Amino acid sequence: MLEWLVLLHVMTAVLGLGPAYAFPFILRDASFAPEMEKTLGLVARLEMFPKIFGTLAVVSGLVLFWIGSYGSFTQLWILGTLILYVIIEVLIVGFLNPTVSKLQASLQALDMTGNSELPAHVKQMYAKVRNLHLWASVLSLIIFIFMILKPG
């Protein structure tokens, strides 16, 4: 049974975080409103993977820890992983989601058609969204490192 739970945990982590690693690349520089709206929409659709499978990975990981023999809860790899997960959630819920909402509202308010150049503040918000996704990806890579190496 433990092996199946480990398999579930690893698969949900890969399915949950895998697509999220592509977000900074999907959100490449966009110079025009239609292109920016398209990439934001694609990321919004793909975000279901981290939301669903990422949550399952955390739950299965906690269950694994409680039923397995992994030692103290205060080990760097487990405590560090949970702290990083909380930081990622704060980045996403506290900073990324509000910025995306403001960006989408700004794009709708522009009433730009065709290939008109975007205002600087819109480009700055878009860059902030991309950078926040990049930070979340880097932190989640550290989580994977903790899970694999289990530093003491």
Tokens representing residue 115 in the block: 């290939």
Half-sphere exposure of 148 (CA within 13 A, CB side): 8
Phi first, then psi, for residue 32 (nearest 5°) are: -130, 150
Q: Say if CB 70 and CB 6 are below 8 A apart.
A: no
Distances (CA, A) of 50 to 13, 78, 135, 150: 8, 20, 15, 23
CB atoms under 10 Å from CB of 140, counted, come to: 21
pTM of the model: 0.90
Q: Say if CB 33 and CB 118 are below 8 A apart.
A: yes
Residue 123 is which amino acid?
K
Q: Say if CB 47 and CB 88 are below 8 A apart.
A: no
**Would you give per-residue pLDDT tens digits along the chain (152 residues)?**
899 999 999 999 999 999 999 999 999 888 888 889 999 999 999 999 999 999 999 999 999 999 988 888 899 999 999 999 999 999 999 999 999 999 999 998 886 666 677 899 999 999 999 999 999 999 999 999 999 998 87
E strand residue ranges, 50-119: none
